[in-house]
């Protein structure tokens, strides 16, 4: 497998790498913004099963999308794999994907986790639950996202920036569920209850709850699962002090917990289209789904997870509103955060 680091590749170098090989029958040119070491085994297994060699370029999400846009019809990319619904929708809107027909993908991936036009497919899930300090918060008082704005929680919530795609996706789903006016009221209520200005990533919020800097936080499930599976005493102590609520399971706001996806699509100008489709179908298969779950603590989109940390966190009902419909609120969500002062 040929792999370039994000700090060394350029467009000229990439094109020279793929020259003479882009149209080879046994090649797949993969553009990936997934930065997880455990994905190495995922790709190597595909190579060993199919004999198709993966040429891979990795970069951060938005620069990789801009790279494909700039390459145009000369792009050697066969597949773009990235994280977050927002990035998949951005690539779709820029016309970087082509629609494909696959009965296997339709059967394995629920409709709400793939594009209606067949341009992209979600292959792993991450939920965004509520984390709370076991010693200071009764979980029954925070059954849903909407309950986080109650005045009694003033100065008790930690969360990352409103400009981050994870929070923008959450807000997009809240707009879809409650309408823009109530969603903005919710955002303002959240800001009023912040314990500190947003900073850091999801793990930082969870650690802040354990340290007593705040009592409640939002964060994706795989971050907490990492703490649960960690062998370090410090991480174990954090996991022991923090509990998890999967919100919106019942009642008036019982639509289910918000989830996001890591997903992929076949590039619009893919030189190895058949191999690209084969790769997407592989990602939906049982072995690849186990890699996502066991290796990176993500939920599979097909089947049950055997990951002990995810099982320890418990089962939950997820929001099943189609992600491409939720994504229509993405721009409105960003503007709403700005108006609410969620920096």
By DSSP bridging, strand 157-158 and strand 216-218 are: parallel
Instruction: For residue range 94-115, list pLDDT tens digits in order.
Output: 999 999 999 999 999 999 999 9
| 325 pLDDT more than 90 | no
| 4 pLDDT more than 60 | no
Cβ neighbours of residue 118 closer than 8 Å, sequence gap 6 or more: 99, 100, 101, 102
Which of 4-18, 218-232, 316-330 is predicted with the least confidence, judged by mean pLDDT?
4-18
Asked if the structure places residue 331 within a domain, the reply is yes
**Are 246 and 282 contained in the same domain?**
no
**Are 81 and 144 contained in the same domain?**
no
Better-predicted residue by pLDDT, 13 or 151: 151
**Are 139 and 272 contained in the same domain?**
no
**Are 70 and 158 contained in the same domain?**
no
Whether the Cβ atoms of residue 119 and residue 97 lie closer than 8 Å to each other: yes
Which of 17-21, 90-94, 284-288, 312-316 is predicted with the least confidence, judged by mean pLDDT?
17-21
Neighbours of 158 (CB within 10 A): 26
- In this prediction, what percent of the chain has a pLDDT beyond 70? 93
**Are 114 and 133 contained in the same domain?**
no
Between CA 153 and CA 130 the distance in angstroms is 13
Asked if the structure places residue 94 within a domain, the reply is yes
- 112-147 b/e with 16+ CB inside 10 Å = b? bbbbeebbbbbbbbbbbbbbbbeeebeeeebbbbbb
Asked if the structure places residue 100 within a domain, the reply is yes
| Number of domains forming the structure of the chain | 2
Asked if the structure places residue 283 within a domain, the reply is yes
Q: Mean pLDDT score of the chain, rounded to an integer?
A: 92
* Residue-number span of the structural domain to which 80 is assigned: 2-125+260-305
| 31 pLDDT more than 50 | yes
Whether the Cβ atoms of residue 238 and residue 50 lie closer than 8 Å to each other: no
Asked if the structure places residue 311 within a domain, the reply is no
**Are 101 and 238 contained in the same domain?**
no
**Are 330 and 214 contained in the same domain?**
yes
77-85 average pLDDT score: 95
Model pLDDT, residue 15: 39
Task: Tell which residue, 162, 165, 15, 6, has the closest CA to residue 75.
Answer: 15
**Are 222 and 190 contained in the same domain?**
yes
Instruction: For residue range 286-295, list pLDDT tens digits in order.
Output: 999 999 999 9
DSSP codes, 170-183: HHHHHHHHH-HHHH
**Are 133 and 207 contained in the same domain?**
yes
**Are 217 and 326 contained in the same domain?**
yes
Two tokens at 33? 């913004």
Model pLDDT, residue 327: 84
**Are 26 and 111 contained in the same domain?**
yes
**Are 190 and 59 contained in the same domain?**
no
Between CA 123 and CA 127 the distance in angstroms is 14
Asked if the structure places residue 158 within a domain, the reply is yes
Neighbours of 296 (CB within 10 A): 20
Q: Up-side HSE of residue 141: CA atoms within 13 Å toward CB?
A: 14
Residue 47: CATH number of its domain:
3.40.190.10
Cβ neighbours of residue 265 closer than 8 Å, sequence gap 6 or more: 79, 80, 88, 91, 92, 96, 97, 98, 115, 119, 120, 121, 280
**pLDDT interval class at 328 (50, 70, 90):** confident
Rounded to the nearest 5°, which phi and psi values hold at 272? -125, 60
Instruction: For residue range 169-205, list pLDDT tens digits in order.
Output: 999 999 999 999 999 999 999 999 999 999 999 999 9
Between CA 13 and CA 154 the distance in angstroms is 53
| 10 pLDDT more than 50 | no
Two tokens at 328? 């229509």
Asked if the structure places residue 55 within a domain, the reply is yes
Please, which residues bridge with residue 97 across strands?
Answer: 267
Asked if the structure places residue 310 within a domain, the reply is no
Model pLDDT, residue 25: 55
């Amino acid at each position: 497998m040929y792999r370039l680091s994000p700090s060394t590749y350029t467009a000229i170098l990439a094109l020279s790498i793929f020259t003479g090989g882009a149209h080879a029958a046994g090649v797949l040119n993969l553009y990936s913004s997934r930065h997880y070491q455990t994905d190495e085994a995922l790709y190597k297994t595909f190579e060993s099963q199919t004999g198709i060699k993966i040429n891979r370029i990795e970069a951060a999400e938005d620069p990789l999308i801009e790279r494909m846009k700039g390459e145009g019809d000369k792009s050697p990319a066969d597949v773009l794999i990235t994280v977050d619904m927002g990035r998949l929708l951005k690539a779709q809107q820029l016309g970087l994907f082509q629609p494909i027909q696959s009965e296997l993908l339709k059967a394995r991936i629920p409709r709400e986790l793939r594009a209606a036009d067949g341009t992209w497919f979600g292959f792993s899930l991450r939920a965004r639950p509520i984390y709370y300090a076991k010693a200071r918060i009764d979980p029954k008082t925070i059954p849903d996202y909407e309950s986080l704005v109650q005045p009694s929680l003033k100065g008790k919530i930690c969360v990352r920036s409103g400009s981050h795609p994870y929070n923008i996706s959450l807000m997009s789903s809240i707009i879809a569920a409650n309408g823009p006016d109530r969603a903005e009221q919710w955002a303002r209520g959240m800001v009023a209850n912040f314990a500190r200005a947003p900073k850091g990533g999801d793990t930082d919020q969870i650690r802040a709850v354990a340290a007593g800097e705040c009592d409640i936080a939002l964060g994706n499930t795989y971050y907490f699962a990492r703490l649960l599976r960690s062998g370090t005493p410090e991480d174990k102590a954090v996991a022991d002090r923090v509990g998890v609520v999967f919100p919106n399971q019942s009642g008036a706001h019982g639509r289910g917990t918000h989830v996001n996806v890591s997903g992929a699509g076949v590039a619009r100008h893919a030189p190895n289209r058949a191999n690209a489709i084969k790769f997407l179908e592989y990602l939906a298969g049982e072995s690849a789904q186990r890699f996502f779950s066991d290796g990176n603590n993500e939920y599979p989109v097909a089947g049950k997870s055997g990951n002990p940390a995810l099982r320890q966190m418990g089962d939950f009902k997820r929001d099943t509103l189609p992600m491409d419909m939720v994504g229509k609120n993405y721009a409105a969500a960003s503007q709403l955060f700005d108006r609410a002062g969620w920096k």
